[in-house]
Structure 1
């Protein structure tokens, strides 16, 4: 009897898998913090006989090489992938035995990358699962633009062909088990659902319902910006990632926190945005530990800049470390926990900024228009930090648009005045508000769902200003 265990990594929107039989298993696209995979194997009482990669990942640092070294497993990597370490090259049609009666078959599925390979788990001669990596996702496909701009159209067409190859060779009841697609920016679109089969994808996946020309045109038109840290992930994976060090960082006192801020380093407060807004060390940045920490911190931080972490508990620091090593931010320079008032030197105090709703923004606009603070006709600066595709669906009239991932380099473009910053729900607005606050701007963080903007009569056709 076979099993398939799913390991979810919600912050990055990815999944890894452990699949096997009574005695042995294969790990598919493992994370860099391999202890989670080892623990899953221990719970099953199986040895990890094989570790496989569907492709050289662009959105996270793999743990495959280290897991194979620690476990003694064979490390299977697509043969066409250019890497600097010894591995077992895998080509289309190759099979390996995982356990008695249980095999894994490689299926070439180029598109997400030129060398992308899916793997079909076969139990007693029957296909029982398809590990599709960044090829066929739930309701979509992996994006084809992460390798080389000149290859994007070619790879998009290859995605269409690869999806059809899987659908044409696998039965309807075979589960589709992708690595990407659960919020990952490696996905070409939002997709939908947490489970699917080949039969379901035949009915709903554009790669299987549209002709190639239509599919390619719509796929390319829907591509979002690529997170900046992706540029570092592929090379790290090709070189062979080093083992991770998850031991606690060196503790920092108030003097060291102040010194690191003065040196221009990043000091990141992991607390929730409500607590941060109420009181934080001046100059610190707010990336919530329970949000998409790894994605947005790695996207915004100048690569290689030292980062110090602040949190209420050591457990929160440890969780953040685990998230960050997955994207190559390996060791915090230091960390501090406990009461935020202990993070400032004696005689100094925490700083704060207000939070608001879209209804309160509308009221502030009405007051200023009527001649309140600022004079008749004055208007708050409204900064929209959502992505282009989100803004295209609707925006606050007269707002300035600078996507969050561009804000650090475009702070000078934010008009003078009190800045009311918003996103779609509050998390990204909190990050943006902390960046502006650290730069000395007066901010109000709009912590509200964007649908409330329409209810407050803030949206309209004249949505753009200062772009």
Structure 2
């Protein structure tokens, strides 16, 4: 059995190509299936089956399009309500994929109808656990509404034990989530691989023998997740289409100006250093290429009913279009060029100060407030004494709480505070972007709340 891992670090997820040297199965395909197609060609194998562990909450699947394109069986839980043709599969049912035996195991918890797949070949086993058992944790249980969370968390505890009975300890474990995805209920271990047996001694779902304690602890530690999740389940149940990943023709200067004048969502993809020093007034800074921050935080606060326009060089625009298609933001417009000022000469150019912690200490008058835009759990763990706290994902709706006058904005690394500073300026505020690691603030001399 050959397992090829297809990483999507922008979302913290993995997809898998599994084959016997001739015939292949793909599990939890991301929407941009051209990556899978390249691997199929490279391996020289025939795709006969595509499987979903669950109706995903954090990305738009490519499974349906992939199955249709290759006339493969599309294995989706028979209990899921979907609007497309699939090959229904249920708990305990097995299918043959070449020499591979693929057994579906009901592992509810992340969703009601979640399946894991135990694949066996010549005595070797692999467990594809989706959002069930992850490396060191489990998939979160609150994505279907608070009324389901307690029941799903009990299900998650029981499902882990079901998997332990269905597969051997030495079975390789291949989860879909847990590599930075907010679909994980706890922090990732950082592991790149594991076995089911290894999880017995390292994963709290197994080490906590008290079911009630596990349930209460997991629920108590659930944190906010991106707003774009609400769009993913319906899109996947409806049957996503193949995305258009082509870079559109660049907008002319008059149209770009009109969009900025109208207050539309025009996103500048350049790095935050270049943006703070010079940008088209009214644009929003979302630096491309900063791990998963771009996709996660743009998807978190972008209003899906609006038109999105990207501004940046061709490579960044092309990559951003691909990344955004995975969360259902399709066909953004673009103004392509290295220098935004040249893309719309009639639009005023703006800037704001950017400093580190030393600059905060030397240049900030005592009466000027500090705004912390980190998430609630980050703020509660540690924060600067007297800082105002408004998480980035709440900033637009809480803009009336932002005080007038100059405002010094920080986050954990400088990325989110760069986005926040641009949103504040766009709303007529006067930001200073603190571009620094929060864990260096105390050492720099900033007073911490006790």
Q: So what's the TM-score if we normalise by structure 2? A: 0.96
1:114 aligned residue: 112
Distance 2:274 2:103 in 1: 51
Given the alignment, which residue of 156, 164, 177 partners 1:167?
A: 164
- 1:449 pairs with 425, 437, 440, which one? 437
Q: Deviations over 1:192-225 (max 9, x none)?
A: 1222111221111110001211111111011111
How far apart in 2 are the matches of 1:127 and 1:52? 20
Q: Cα distance, 1:333 vs. partner?
A: 2.7
* Alpha-carbon contact 1:127-1:170 (below 8 Å) kept: no
Mapped partners of 2:145, 2:4: distance in 1: 33
Tell me the secondary structure at the aligned position of residue 141 of structure 1.
Answer: coil
Is this contact kept in 1: 2:125–2:168, CA < 8 A?
no
Conserved? CA contact 1:133–1:179, under 8 Å: yes
CA distance in structure 2 between the partners assigned to 1:84 and 1:134 by the alignment: 23
1:79 counterpart = 2:78: yes
Corresponding residue number in structure 1 for 2:201: 203
Unpaired runs of 5+ in structure 1?
369-377, 463-467
- Within 5 Å, which residues of 2 pair with 1:6-405? 6-100=5-99, 102-124=100-122, 126-192=123-189, 193-210=191-208, 211-291=210-290, 292-312=293-313, 314-346=314-346, 348-365=347-364, 368=365, 378-405=366-393
Deviation at 1:299? 1.2
How far has the Cα of 1:320 moved from its partner?
A: 0.4
Residue 4 of structure 1 is matched in structure 2 by: 3
- 1:407–1:432 Cα contact (<8 Å) kept: yes
Report the Cα distance in structure 1 between the residues aligned to 2:70 and 2:263, rounded to whole angstroms: 41
Residue range with higher mean Cα deviation, 317-326 or 350-359 = 350-359
Cα separation, 1, equivalents of 2:272 and 2:42? 37
How far residue 167 of structure 1 moved from its aligned partner, in angstroms, is 2.2
Aligned length: 446
State yes or no: 1:406 paired with 2:405: no
Q: Is 1:359–1:452's contact at 8 Å kept on the other side of the alignment?
A: no
Could you say which residue in structure 2 is the equivalent of 1:435?
Answer: 423
CA distance in 2, matches of 1:288, 1:128: 42
After TM superposition, give the deviation of residue 349 of structure 1 in Å.
4.7
Deviations 1:119-159 (A, max 9, x none): 011012x2421110000011100001111321110000110
235-244 vs 247-256, which deviates more?
247-256
Q: Does 1:419 align with 2:419?
A: no
CA RMSD after TM alignment: 1.3
Structure 2 contact 50–67 (Cα < 8 Å) conserved: yes
> Quick one: distance in 1 between partners of 2:192 and 2:139?
16
Counterparts of 1:187 and 1:196 in 2: how far apart (Å)? 16
8 Å contact 1:359–1:453 — kept in the other structure?
no
Question: 3-state DSSP class of the match of 2:280?
Answer: coil
**Hey, what's the Cα distance between the residues in 2 that align with 1:157 and 1:55?**
18
TM-score normalised per structure 1: 0.93
Q: Deviations over 1:399-420 (max 9, x none)?
A: 0000110001111111122111
Superposed CA deviations along residues 251-300 of structure 1, whole A, max 9, x for unmatched, are 11322211111222100011111111121111101112113222211110
Report deviation, 1:236.
0.6
- Tell me the secondary structure at the aligned position of residue 425 of structure 1: coil
Alpha-carbon offset, residue 343 of structure 1 = 2.2
Q: Distance in 2 between matches of 1:116 and 1:255?
A: 50
Q: Hey, what's the Cα distance between the residues in 2 that align with 1:7 and 1:150?
A: 34
CA distance in 1, matches of 2:8, 2:275: 25
Higher mean C-alpha displacement, 257-266 vs 162-171: 162-171
Decide whether the 8 Å contact of 2:317 with 2:334 is kept in 1. no
Deviates more, 1:3-12 or 1:192-201: 192-201
